[in-house]
Structure 1
């Protein structure tokens, strides 16, 4: 063996002798520690995996299901949900949803055909009817109605009626001035409001002539006709055909009814001093509303 090789082995032995080998107990503790580290890492990885699965399950359960395409067809997208249009605010301003589309408003009528006027029931019809240009309302303390400036068209007729209990050849029991008026959009309500206010401001008025009659006006409760209505009465002391006072009272009934932008008025005028009967006026008012609704619905 050469001198150099001998010196190399000698230094290697000296270095090995200088290191202290661990005893078996020390080796066993080190091995146990490494095993616990591996088990902790495995448990942590498993916990992370379970948490990920649980989260994914919650997301899957809460997600909106996707529609299944019909056989042989393409998938159908879910219909968008449109919120209902809220009611108007207390101030009357409508609150509309951005997702709700509105169609253009249909223009109102501009002319009044004959079919817009009601027909009396057969048992009440006297066959006396004529169209004429006359006042739609009696004087109400000389009131003027600004809504008249918004009239599109007005037509008036007069007709006589009889009570169903009376024979056909019996004289009429009453008569009407019946008027239909079209107003500009949204102005028909003004006509009813102005009429109501005029009657309230005119509890009494005097007629004309040598023996003027005192007329007493009064609003009556009214509902169930068209979109809105105004009913009032005019009472006066009864007179004979010569204008002389007689016992009793004479009663006239006037009803104005709004249907959309149309107002119809029944002004009961009696016949030779007869008085209006509410039941007859009510029945003919319902027929008047039905005729106008039919006309507007057929436009």
Structure 2
């Protein structure tokens, strides 16, 4: 061994001999203290980390979401994705029936139509004021006698204007001619009627009346079969929307039922105003004939009263 190495060993022995090793209790106590110190440092580190996390989340919540800038003008809005919610509640449209097909019951579907229906706002009842009043000079003092009965003469069994009637009302009105004595019997009698037709059917009623008169120029008188009554249309205008005027003509009969010379003539005028028709049928009184001037004047009174009511 060299001298240098021997001197180093000798110095190391001197240092070791001077240091006293601590006892086992001191060594254990020191180790426990160092362990507690490391645990405390770890706990502090964890607590600090938790506090920092909570503080950061509060700052984020307080700041709120960052506002989104609106899309530039002209940019179409995004279309939401399709959804099936509510499809079960949405009713399916009713299947349409093609023209010319038949329904399950085997009948062809009828197309809606306004033909034959009452006009909106049209009257459905006829009051007394719809009928005209006679002037005092022509009033026979009998008043109106409303009731059922024929409103037209017999025309070979035809019944013109009886279809599509909404309402009808008729009266019998005796009258006297101007200048007749107050105690004299009536000069004649009117059968005056007013009939409301369904929309557009009043014109058809007057057309049927014209046809019926033309188709029945002559017929036996029911109560005297050997006597013939004749009907013919007369020209007419200036009453209502349109009018039909015709006469009935039959020979005067004596007590034995034989012609006595001359004819008993009565006039019938039907006037249409819209969907309403008024008929003035002069029937005479005890074989009197119609006086045309009186009949025309009372026809105008009937039309004027009808218009006042309808207006």
Q: 2:164 aligns with which of 121, 140, 150?
A: 150
- Measured against aligned partners, the alpha-carbon deviations of 1:236-257 in whole angstroms (never above 9, x if no partner) come to 1112466443221100100000
Aligned match of 2:293: 279
Q: Please give the TM-score of this superposition, normalised by the length of structure 1.
A: 0.62
Detail structure 1 runs of 4+ shifted over 4 Å in the superposition: none
Aligned equivalents of 2:232, 2:306: Cα separation in 1:
27
- Counterpart for residue 198 of structure 2: 184
Match of 1:165 in 2: 179
Deviation, 1:134, is 0.4
1:223 to 237, 241, 266: 237
**Secondary structure, counterpart of 2:145 in structure 1:** strand
- Could you state the TM-score of these two structures normalised by the residue count of structure 2? 0.59
Q: Is the 8 A contact 1:241 1:272 kept in 2?
A: no
User: In 2, distance between residues paired with 1:171 and 1:143?
Assistant: 34
In the other structure, the counterpart of 1:261 is 275
The structure with more radius of gyration = 2
Change (3 A) 1:242 1:151: farther
For the aligned residue pairs, the C-alpha RMSD in angstroms reads: 1.5
Q: 5 Å matches for 1:116-131?
A: 116-128=130-142, 129-131=144-146
1:114 match: 128
Matches of 2:162 and 2:304, distance apart in 1: 24
Give the match for residue 201 of structure 1: 215
3-state DSSP of counterpart to 1:127: coil
User: What runs of 5+ residues in structure 2 fail to find an aligned partner?
Assistant: 1-118
Gaps of 5+ in 1: 1-104
How much does 1:216 deviate? 1.0
Offset from partner CA, 1:105-159 (integer Å, 9 cap, x none): 74211000000011111110102231010011011111133x4220001101001
1:139 aligns with 2:154: yes
Structure-2 change in CA distance of 1:118 and 1:242 (3 Å): farther
Distance in 2, Cα, partners of 1:290 & 1:209: 36
In 1: Cα distance, 2:216 partner to 2:180 partner = 36
Q: Deviations over 1:161-217 (max 9, x none)?
A: 111021222211110110000000111001100000111111111123455320111
Conserved 8 A contact 1:239-1:273: no
Work out whether residues 257 and 264 of structure 1, in 8 Å CA contact, stay in contact via their aligned partners in 2. Answer: yes
> Match of 1:236, SS?
strand
Please show how residues 66-77 of structure 1 align to structure 2 within 5 Å: none
